[in-house]
C-alpha cells in the first residue's frame, strides 16, 4: 500500500436530486425525490432534506410518499445528469490521466500518476481545488476522500458527506477502521453482515480478531481472505482508467401487468429502438442482443442471440428481440421488459443488415402499431412531473403535475428566482417539451 494519501474518491452529493434543486430554484432547500413515479416505482435519489424523513435510494416510491408526503416527486432527466457528469469527469481528467469512473456521480483518481500530489498536504490542496472547481463549473457539491488505498478513500468520502473532505493519514488506518461496523467494508452486504452478526462479529476490529482461518471457514476461501485483508486495511487495487462499458440496455417497469401479446411485442420494439439510440450516442455497436422479461409472478427470464458481427442497426436489433420474445411464455402477463446489447465494439459491420429477416428498411413505429392491430385512439400529451417544457408566452418551465386534462407548470430557470405557476389544458398548442437548460451559464470569452 502507498505511503501517501494520493488516491482520491469523489462522490457527488445526492446527485440526481441536487441537479434538480440546482435546475429548479423553487426546490432549493426542499425535500426532493427522484425516481419512478408509478405504483411500482422506486427511489433513485433523495435530497438530504428528504432523507431527514427516512427516504432513501431503492425504497419503493409508495413508501417514500408515506414518509414524506409533501416532497417534490420528479422523474429522472438522464440526459441532463449525463451532461453534468461529463463536466465533472472532465475536471477529474485534468487532475490525472488515471480516472476510474464508477457511475455518473462517483470516481477514483490516482493523484500520483500526474504528480499533482506526493504527500498529505499536496493531496489535500488538490482535493480542495477539485471541490471548488466542481462548484464553479456545475453549481453542485461533491465529497472527497483521500487515502493510500481505494477502499479507504471511499470510506473517507462517505465520512465527508455532505460537501466535505476527509483525509486518512497513512499509519492511522487500523485505528480508524477498528470501531466501524463490518458493513462499512466493500463486499459485506446484508446477508454477509447478518451471518457475521450471528457469530458475534459486528465491528471491523472483531473481524480482524477472528482471524483468517475462521473467516475462511465462515465465508469461504475467496471471501474470507479478502475480508480479512480489508479488516487489516490492506488494499492493493490500482486505479484503472476508463473502465469500458460491457453492455448497453434499457428497461421499463409497467404500472399494470401487460397481458396482450401484440402490445408486449410493440413494447419490445420500442425498447430495442431506445437501446440503439443509446448505442449510437455512445459511438458503439454490439453483437449480442439480450431480452429480459419479468413475469407477473416476479420470475425473470433472459434470452440472448449473438449475431455474426457488431451492429447498431435498429432493424437488426428490433428483429432479434422479436425472435427472442417468441421463445418466452408471457401467459399471465409481464411487469417488466428490457432489451440490451453486449459484446460491444466501436465499429459496425456494414453488411450486417442482411441479418434482418425481412431485408427491408426499418419499419416506422406507426406502421408497427397498425400491423399488430393496436386500437387507434386519440393520444393526449403525457406531461410528467419534473419534465422541461417551453410555453410560447411564458418561456421555459417545468411540470409540477398533471391530471384531469390539465397540466401545472412552474416557469423558472436555473438562473432565475423561484417562478410563478400556471395551469393549462394538456392540449394547449403553446406548450411543448423542451431540453434542459445548463445549470451554470459561463461568460463568453473576451
Residues assigned a catalytic role? 106
C-alpha 124/C-alpha 67 separation (Å) is 39
**Angle at 25 (CA atoms; ends 33, 87), nearest 5 degrees:** 80
Q: Answer yes or no: are the C-beta atoms of 383 and 367 closer than 8 Å.
A: no
Q: At what angle do helices 212-219 and 221-231 cross, to 10 degrees?
A: 140
Instruction: Name the CA radius of gyration of the chain, rounded.
Output: 25
C-alpha 226/C-alpha 232 separation (Å) is 10
CA distances (Å), origin 221, targets 89, 201, 281: 37, 18, 42
Does residue 133 sit in helix, strand or coil? helix
Q: Where are the strands (E) in 189-333, listed by range?
A: 247-258, 285-295, 300-311
C-alpha 323/C-alpha 346 separation (Å) is 25
DSSP state of 113: G
Q: At what angle do helices 212-219 and 190-198 cross, to 10 degrees?
A: 120
Does residue 155 sit in helix, strand or coil? helix
Q: Which residues of 166-189 are buried (b: 16+ CB within 10 A; e: fewer)?
A: bbbebeebeebbbeeebebbeebe
* Per-residue cell: 420: 410563478
DSSP state of 443: P
C-alpha 413/C-alpha 397 separation (Å) is 7
Concatenating the DSSP letter of every residue in 47-95 gives -HHHHTTT--TT-BHHHHHHH-TTSEEE---HHHHHHHHHHHHHHHHHH
| DSSP-derived pairing of the beta strands 72-74 and 32-35 | parallel
Neighbour count for residue 434 (Cβ, 10 Å): 15
Count CA atoms closer than 13 A to 158's CA, side-chain side.
11
3-state DSSP: the chain helix, strand, coil percent, rounded to 5? 35, 25, 35
DSSP state of 313: -
Amino acid at each position: 500500500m502507498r505511503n501517501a494519501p494520493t488516491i482520491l474518491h469523489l462522490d457527488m452529493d445526492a446527485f440526481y436530486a441536487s441537479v434538480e434543486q440546482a435546475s429548479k430554484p423553487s426546490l432549493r432547500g426542499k425535500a426532493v425525490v427522484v425516481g419512478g413515479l408509478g405504483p411500482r416505482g422506486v427511489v433513485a435519489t433523495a435530497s438530504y432534506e428528504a432523507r431527514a424523513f427516512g427516504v432513501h435510494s431503492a425504497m419503493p416510491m409508495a413508501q417514500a410518499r408515506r414518509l414524506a408526503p409533501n416532497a417534490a416527486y420528479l422523474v429522472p432527466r438522464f440526459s441532463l445528469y449525463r451532461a453534468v457528469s461529463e463536466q465533472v469527469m472532465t475536471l477529474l481528467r485534468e487532475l490525472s490521466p488515471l480516472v476510474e469512473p464508477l457511475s455518473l456521480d462517483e470516481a477514483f483518481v490516482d493523484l500520483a500518476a500526474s504528480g499533482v500530489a506526493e504527500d498529505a498536504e499536496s493531496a489535500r490542496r488538490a482535493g480542495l481545488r477539485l471541490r471548488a472547481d466542481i462548484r464553479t463549473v456545475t453549481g453542485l457539491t461533491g465529497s472527497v476522500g483521500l487515502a493510500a488505498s481505494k477502499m479507504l478513500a471511499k470510506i473517507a468520502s462517505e465520512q465527508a458527506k455532505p460537501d466535505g473532505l476527509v483525509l486518512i493519514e497513512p499509519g492511522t488506518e487500523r485505528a480508524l477502521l477498528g470501531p466501524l461496523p463490518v458493513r462499512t467494508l466493500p463486499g459485506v452486504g446484508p446477508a454477509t453482515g447478518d451471518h457475521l452478526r450471528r457469530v458475534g462479529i459486528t465491528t471491523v476490529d472483531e473481524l480482524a480478531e477472528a482471524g483468517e482461518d475462521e473467516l475462511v471457514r465462515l465465508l469461504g476461501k475467496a471471501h474470507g481472505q479478502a475480508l480479512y485483508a480489508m479488516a487489516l486495511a490492506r488494499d492493493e487495487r490500482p486505479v484503472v482508467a476508463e473502465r469500458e462499458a460491457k453492455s448497453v440496455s434499457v428497461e421499463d417497469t409497467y404500472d399494470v401487468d401487460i397481458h396482450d401479446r401484440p402490445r408486449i411485442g410493440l413494447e419490445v420494439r420500442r425498447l430495442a429502438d431506445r437501446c440503439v439510440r443509446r448505442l449510437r450516442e455512445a459511438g458503439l455497436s454490439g453483437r449480442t442482443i439480450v431480452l429480459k422479461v419479468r413475469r407477473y409472478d416476479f420470475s425473470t427470464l433472459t434470452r440472448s442471440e449473438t449475431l455474426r458481427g457488431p451492429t447498431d442497426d435498429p432493424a437488426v436489433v428490433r428483429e432479434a428481440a422479436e425472435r427472442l420474445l417468441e421463445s418466452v411464455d408471457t401467459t399471465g402477463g409481464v411487469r417488466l421488459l428490457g432489451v440490451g446489447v453486449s459484446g460491444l465494439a466501436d465499429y459496425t459491420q456494414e453488411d450486417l443488415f442482411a441479418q434482418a429477416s425481412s431485408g427491408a428498411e426499418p419499419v416506422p413505429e406507426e406502421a408497427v402499431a397498425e400491423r399488430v392491430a393496436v386500437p387507434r385512439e386519440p393520444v393526449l400529451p403525457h406531461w410528467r412531473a419534473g419534465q422541461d417544457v417551453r410555453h410560447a408566452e411564458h418561456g421555459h418551465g417545468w411540470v409540477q403535475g398533471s391530471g384531469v386534462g390539465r397540466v401545472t407548470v412552474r416557469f423558472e430557470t436555473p438562473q432565475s428566482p423561484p417562478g410563478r405557476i400556471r395551469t393549462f389544458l394538456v392540449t394547449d398548442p403553446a406548450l411543448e417539451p423542451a431540453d434542459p437548460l445548463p445549470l451554470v451559464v459561463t461568460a463568453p470569452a473576451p
